[in-house]
């Protein structure tokens, strides 16, 4: 899960494919998908293939931590990697502090899931950066994450393509404080699919497989008895608009449970902004009123007057009116009459025909619901509004996918065209900028620029589809048919547009636009009505048409995105059946992926900063890498080169792993020793004239004892742990003879070992040590005093070590860690006492002997070593050891520290 895949034919980044063709791209995606790898890179873009089933560990905390702590290049592509890149870029500050992540793909491709994972990552990782590692999530994180169930209840629905299809566009920004913590957020919503409120008209083949917005079903399934009463809810099955759907329940979706989740999200959000229970129930009353409005049918009476058709219709009005806070007569009249202002300031009210009444009712229901949704977003925004200054932000765009047929879908597909524009201009621009900055030559690649399709839809001069629709909408005699004729006359010559005709040449009633993602046909039926927004027909001032409003929203969105550094996730739906693990190659084939790979590959398959490149592949070669013509980056034209490098790196890695283990050990030891060195300076400084040996590197283990198998066995037999110090020393034995030994110190004992065989000659528990004494000269002698009561050893140790300061410091530190009350006594004198072993050369009468240190100028100014008197006759005579110190190690030596003692 956390290792990169870079084998030929199965690379986790499409840019590294040997061969760039549709078949190769699709085969590679499929190979990864079959391994449970749903994420694939396309350079910095992450492609996500919907698995339609949970994948173990894919969003685990452990994996999240890896993406947080390791470099993106070391880990396979993942939505976490995208979120992390955006977060890190936002922390970089400056002009880069505005980031956006654009999630695209058709309906059911996994956009909303991806957006949730992105938000989760940002919430989880920025809470720790803001409030310390132990800080629990602050309420703002909860509120941001909690906004999802609420928005989904009101804005999502079961469709043919997706059981939880987002029927609105959403752009959520997370505002970050200078320290990287979340301070708040904001949701911008785009064009809710209003007609869905009333579900597809009966007779529509989709009606049996699609539902209205979730909240209607949630409410009916989950409301308590008290709520049912207050909201005037009819029993399930009592609503015409819900009855029209053939799938009032959805497998795997528990409406009642979802209602509970939605209510608690609502309660949490509303409470946070101090909005009472009343606001929540007002929203639910609106939902109930819309349900009742759906039951109001109209018919003309015998006198020709149009009114509620029957008792059921009247009952519906009687419920809807109080829920909306109006009286029944007012509501009835507003649905059955039209008021027009004349030019002379008069208002004329005229009755409507039965179908017109139904259209007005539908428009009212849709508008009420859509406004309720807008209001909900407004309340949520109050709830998550930034509570402090923000210096950076990350936006996540979860826009709708491509759909076919209606006016809403034209708007949605237009939104996708606009985003594709952003994608093209931002990625190509970015690409070219890199090449220019690095001084690299490249020839631009041909790609389809969809600007031409954007203009076809939104153009003003020459007018595009929306402009013609607006023109026709305000014409008193404008109809869907007249619009279609106009489109035919004015746009037929356009390469991306055609009006569909029947065999005889008559217009069929729909037109086709060739979008960047394929051809889509749109029906003209009802288009003008939707564009006009019937509800406002009564108003004097003409409101902006729906198309114009959407165009303005898209322009604002494009402005926002253009001011951000973009990151992309492209979601792919691998089959049409929502089937787990099924990959239908035909479905994936045309997604413009190949083109994208080509654009990215036009120059170089792989690019990385020189440091990063060298960092990853340094292990492969001992010599330095040649730099390319580039200034700061390494570019590889052929993916094969990268794969070869990866293979070589893989082979080297096990060797490197061993090196690393050793390196880590040394690093830990060095850190420990560096600390000890500071203590050593305190210990010796001012106490003793000696060489400043602490300017030398302390390395603890000078003889490789830690890697020796005999030593390992020995230490484990005693349960002694690791080597703290090991070095060659000279030990003075009881016969006053010098012997070479390895002195080894662990956390529990001190050993002497025979060089070569590593055989143990002594083991003294550190607990038995009572003191260390040294001369005031810069010699290497140390007397290690042993408490005989603590061990079976009857003599002290007399040693000479080239790392005396280090040895003494390590011993003192290790003894202090044993937890015994008195520290190891350290003393300095030029006459030291020690206990010699019984029967030794010096052991006549008493075991207590002395070592005398004195400066001997006869050794000459060049001598650097202290000399132990080895004259046996003299030894017997004096009954003491003598150490002659050369002038270089004595008081006047340049290398010495001044003695203040
Ligand atoms: N990463 C994933 N892991 C497991 N299942 C997933 C994943 N992504 C999506 N799905 C499944 O696919 C379903 C559809 O995904 P999602 O709702 O995110 O699609 P969408 O692209 O937002 O579609 P729409 O445009 O209709 O809103 C989810 O409800 C879930 O069951
Ligand atoms: Mg969605």
8 Å CB contact between 634 and 628: yes
8 Å CB contact between 68 and 125: yes
Which ligand ends up closest to the CA of 580? 1
Q: Please state, rounded to an integer, the average pLDDT across all residues of the chain.
A: 82
Q: What is the pLDDT averaged over residues 585-609?
A: 69
| pLDDT (0 to 100) of residue 899 | 27
Ligand 1 centre from 54 Cα, in Å?
A: 11
Q: What is the pLDDT averaged over residues 499-526?
A: 88
Q: What is the pLDDT averaged over residues 712-717?
A: 86
pLDDT confidence of 698, banded at 50, 70, 90?
Answer: low
Which of 264 and 365 is assigned the larger pLDDT?
Answer: 365
- Point out the catalytic residue in the list 48, 50, 112, 531: 112
Cα–Cα nearest to 534, from 314, 357, 349, 719: 357
Could you identify the residue written with the tokens 């002195």? 743
| pLDDT (0 to 100) of residue 194 | 84
Is 59 touching ligand 1 by the criterion CB < 6 Å?
no
Say if residue 477's pLDDT is above 80. yes
| pLDDT (0 to 100) of residue 343 | 72
pLDDT confidence of 476, banded at 50, 70, 90?
Answer: confident
Q: Assess whether 482 carries a catalytic annotation.
A: no
pLDDT confidence of 174, banded at 50, 70, 90?
Answer: very high
| pLDDT (0 to 100) of residue 685 | 61
- Of 55-69, 700-714, 810-824, the range with the highest mean pLDDT is 55-69
CA distances from 324 to 110, 155, 247, 275, 288 (A): 37, 21, 28, 19, 9
| pLDDT (0 to 100) of residue 738 | 87
Query: 338-376: per-residue pLDDT in tens?
Result: 887 777 778 888 899 998 899 889 889 999 999 999 999
8 Å CB contact between 59 and 67: no
Q: Which fold has domain 685-889?
A: PH-domain like (2.30.29)
- Point out the catalytic residue in the list 48, 107, 189, 752: 107
Q: Which residues contact 442 (CB under 8 A, 6 or more apart)?
A: 435, 602, 603, 604
- Which H helix or E strand runs over 773? strand 769-774
Q: Which fold has domain 78-402?
A: 1.20.120
| pLDDT (0 to 100) of residue 303 | 87
Q: Which residues contact 318 (CB under 8 A, 6 or more apart)?
A: 328
- CA dihedral of 271, 275, 277, 283, whole degrees rounded to 10: -110
List the single range of 62-76, 301-315, 324-338 with lowest mean pLDDT.
62-76
| pLDDT (0 to 100) of residue 404 | 60
Q: Assess whether 401 carries a catalytic annotation.
A: yes
Tokens in use for 208? 């049996």
Say if residue 468's pLDDT is above 60. yes
Q: Is 487 exposed, middle or buried (0-12, 13-18, 19+ CB in 10 A)?
A: buried
List the single range of 223-232, 612-621, 779-788, 839-848 with lowest mean pLDDT.
839-848
Cα–Cα nearest to 124, from 141, 107, 112, 106: 141
Q: What is the pLDDT averaged over residues 40-45?
A: 87
Given CATH 1.20.58.530, say whether it is the number of domain 418-558: yes
Say if residue 481's pLDDT is above 50. yes
What are residue 294's DSSP bridge partners? Answer: none
| pLDDT (0 to 100) of residue 206 | 56
Q: Assess whether 107 carries a catalytic annotation.
A: yes
108 known ligand binder: yes
Ligand 2 centre from 434 Cα, in Å?
A: 34
Write a three-state SS string for 261-294: HHHHHHHHHHHHCCCCHHHHHHHHHHHHHHHHHC
Cα–Cα nearest to 634, from 442, 427, 440: 440
Q: Give me the residue spans of the domains in the chain.
A: 78-402, 418-558, 685-889
Say if residue 895's pLDDT is above 50. no
Ligand 1 centre from 579 Cα, in Å?
A: 12
Ligand 2 centre from 166 Cα, in Å?
A: 4
Query: 769-812: per-residue pLDDT in tens?
Result: 989 998 888 788 999 998 877 777 778 899 998 888 888 888 88
Q: Assess whether 756 carries a catalytic annotation.
A: no
Is 52 touching ligand 1 by the criterion CB < 6 Å?
yes
Query: 66-77: per-residue pLDDT in tens?
Result: 998 877 777 899
Alpha helices in 492-605 (DSSP H): 527-532, 546-562, 585-589, 593-601
| pLDDT (0 to 100) of residue 893 | 44
| pLDDT (0 to 100) of residue 900 | 25
Say if residue 320's pLDDT is above 90. yes
Ligand 2 centre from 562 Cα, in Å?
A: 23
Say if residue 640's pLDDT is above 80. no
Query: 529-581: per-residue pLDDT in tens?
Result: 888 765 555 545 567 788 888 888 888 888 888 888 888 999 999 998 899 98
Q: What is the pLDDT averaged over residues 650-655?
A: 61
| pLDDT (0 to 100) of residue 324 | 95
- Point out the catalytic residue in the list 120, 175, 258, 403: 403
Query: 672-693: per-residue pLDDT in tens?
Result: 777 777 777 777 765 544 444 5
In 329-378, beta strands by DSSP E? 337-341, 347-351
In 379-515, beta strands by DSSP E? 392-398, 497-501, 507-515
Query: 220-238: per-residue pLDDT in tens?
Result: 988 999 999 999 999 878 8
What is d(CA 878, CA 895) in angstroms, rounded to the nearest whole number?
32
Say if residue 615's pLDDT is above 80. no
581 known ligand binder: no
Say if residue 64's pLDDT is above 90. yes
What is d(CA 738, CA 867) in angstroms, rounded to the nearest whole number?
11
pLDDT confidence of 610, banded at 50, 70, 90?
Answer: low
Q: Assess whether 108 carries a catalytic annotation.
A: yes
Say if residue 117's pLDDT is above 50. yes
Cα–Cα nearest to 687, from 426, 898, 403: 898
| pLDDT (0 to 100) of residue 273 | 59
How many angstroms separate the first and last alpha carbons of the chain?
64
Closest residue to atom 11 of ligand 1, CA basis = 52
CA distances from 378 to 535, 543, 814 (A): 22, 22, 65
| pLDDT (0 to 100) of residue 130 | 42
8 Å CB contact between 72 and 86: no
pLDDT confidence of 894, banded at 50, 70, 90?
Answer: very low
Neighbours of 524 (CB within 10 A): 24
With the most atoms of ligand 1 within 8 angstroms of its CB, the residue from 57, 106, 112 to mutate is: 112
- Of 113-122, 362-371, 654-663, the range with the highest mean pLDDT is 113-122
Is 162 touching ligand 1 by the criterion CB < 6 Å?
yes
| pLDDT (0 to 100) of residue 429 | 65
What is d(CA 201, CA 765) in angstroms, rounded to the nearest whole number?
91
List the single range of 126-130, 350-354, 440-444 with lowest mean pLDDT.
126-130
- Point out the catalytic residue in the list 90, 125, 129, 165: 165
């Amino acid at each position: 899960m956390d290792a990169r895949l870079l084998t030929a034919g199965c690379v986790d980044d499409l840019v590294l494919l040997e061969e760039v063709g549709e078949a190769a791209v699709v085969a590679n995606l499929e190979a990864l998908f079959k391994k449970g790898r749903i994420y694939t890179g396309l350079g910095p873009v992450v492609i996500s293939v919907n698995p339609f089933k949970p994948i173990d560990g894919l969003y685990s905390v452990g994996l999240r931590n890896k993406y947080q702590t390791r470099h993106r290049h070391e880990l396979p592509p993942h939505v976490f990697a995208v979120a992390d890149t955006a977060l890190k870029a936002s922390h970089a500050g400056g002009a880069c502090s505005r980031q956006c992540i654009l999630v695209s793909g058709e309906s059911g491709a996994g956009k909303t899931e991806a957006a949730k994972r992105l938000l989760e990552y940002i919430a989880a990782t920025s809470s720790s950066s803001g409030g310390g590692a132990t800080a629990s999530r602050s309420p703002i994180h909860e509120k941001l994450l909690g906004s999802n169930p609420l928005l989904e209840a009101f804005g999502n629905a079961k469709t043919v393509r997706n059981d939880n299809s987002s029927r609105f566009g959403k752009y959520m920004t997370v505002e970050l404080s200078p320290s990287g913590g979340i301070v708040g957020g904001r949701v911008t919503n785009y064009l809710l699919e209003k007609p869905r409120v009333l579900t597809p008209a009966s007779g529509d083949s989709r009606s049996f497989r699609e539902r209205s917005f979730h909240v209607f079903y949630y409410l009916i399934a989950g409301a308590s008895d008290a709520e049912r009463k207050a909201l005037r809810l009819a029993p399930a099955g009592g609503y015409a608009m819900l009855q029209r759907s053939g799938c009032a329940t959805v497998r795997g979706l528990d409406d009642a449970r979802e209602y509970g989740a939605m209510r608690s999200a609502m309660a949490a959000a509303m409470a946070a902004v101090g909005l009472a229970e009343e606001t929540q129930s007002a929203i639910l009353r609106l939902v109930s009123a819309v349900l009742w409005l759906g039951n109001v049918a109209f018919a003309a009476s015998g006198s020709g007057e149009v009114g509620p058709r029957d008792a059921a219709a009247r009952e519906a009005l009687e419920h809807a009116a109080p829920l909306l806070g109006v009286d029944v007569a007012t509501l009835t009249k507003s649905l059955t009459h039209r008021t027009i202002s004349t030019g002379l300031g008069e208002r004329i009210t005229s009755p409507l025909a039965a179908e017109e009444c139904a259209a007005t009712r539908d428009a009212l229901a849709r508008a009420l619901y859509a406004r309720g949704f807008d209001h909900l977003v407004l309340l949520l925004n109050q709830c998550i509004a930034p509570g402090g200054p923000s210096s950076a932000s990350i936006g996540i765009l979860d826009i709708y996918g491509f759909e076919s047929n209606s006016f809403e879908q034209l708007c949605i597909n237009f939104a996708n065209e606009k985003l594709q524009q952003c994608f093209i201009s931002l990625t190509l621009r970015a690409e070219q900028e890199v090449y220019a900055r690095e001084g690299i030559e490249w020839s631009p690649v041909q790609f389809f620029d969809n600007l031409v399709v954007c203009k076809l839809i939104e153009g003003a001069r020459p007018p595009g589809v929306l402009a013609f629709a607006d023109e026709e909408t305000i014409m008193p005699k404008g109809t869907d048919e007249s619009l279609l004729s106009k489109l035919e006359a004015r746009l037929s010559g356009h390469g991306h547009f055609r009006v569909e005709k029947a065999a005889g040449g008559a217009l069929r009633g729909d037109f086709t636009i060739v979008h960047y993602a394929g051809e889509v046909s749109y029906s003209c039926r009802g288009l003008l009505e939707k564009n006009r927004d019937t509800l406002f027909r009564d108003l004097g001032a003409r409101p902006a048409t729906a198309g114009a409003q959407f165009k303005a929203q898209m322009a604002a969105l494009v402005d926002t995105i253009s001011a951000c550094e973009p990151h992309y996730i492209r979601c792919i739906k691998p089959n049409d059946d929502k089937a787990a693990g099924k990959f239908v190659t035909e479905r994936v084939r045309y997604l413009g992926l190949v083109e994208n790979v080509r654009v990215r590959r036009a120059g170089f398959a792989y690019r990385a900063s020189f440091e990063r490149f060298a960092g990853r592949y340094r292990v492969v070669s001992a010599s330095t890498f040649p730099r390319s013509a580039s200034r700061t980056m390494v570019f590889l034209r052929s993916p094969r080169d990268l794969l070869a490098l990866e293979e070589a790196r893989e082979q080297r890695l096990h060797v490197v792993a061993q090196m690393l283990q050793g390196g880590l050990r040394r690093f830990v030891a060095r850190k420990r020793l560096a600390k000890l060195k500071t203590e050593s300076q305190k210990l010796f400084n001012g106490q003793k004239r000696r060489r400043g040996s602490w300017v030398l590197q302390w390395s603890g283990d000078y003889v490789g004892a830690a890697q020796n198998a005999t030593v390992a066995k020995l230490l484990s037999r005693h349960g002694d742990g690791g080597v703290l110090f090991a070095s060659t020393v000279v030990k003075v034995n009881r016969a006053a003879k010098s012997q070479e030994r390895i002195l080894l110190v662990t956390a529990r004992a001190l050993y002497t070992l025979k060089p070569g065989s590593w055989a143990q000659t002594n083991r003294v528990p550190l607990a038995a040590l009572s003191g260390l004494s040294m001369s005031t000269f810069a010699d290497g002698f140390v007397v290690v005093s042993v408490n005989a009561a603590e061990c079976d050893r009857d003599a002290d140790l007399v040693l000479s070590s080239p790392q005396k300061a280090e040895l003494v410091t390590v011993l003192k530190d290790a003894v202090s860690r044993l937890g015994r009350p008195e520290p190891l006594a350290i003393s300095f004198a030029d006459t030291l006492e020690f206990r010699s072993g019984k029967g030794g050369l010096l052991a006549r009468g008493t075991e207590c002997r002395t070592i005398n240190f004195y400066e001997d100028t006869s050794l000459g100014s060049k001598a650097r070593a202290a000399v132990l008197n080895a004259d046996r006759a003299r030894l017997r005579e004096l009954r003491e050891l003598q150490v002659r110190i050369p002038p270089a190690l004595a008081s006047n030596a340049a290398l010495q520290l001044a003695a203040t003692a």
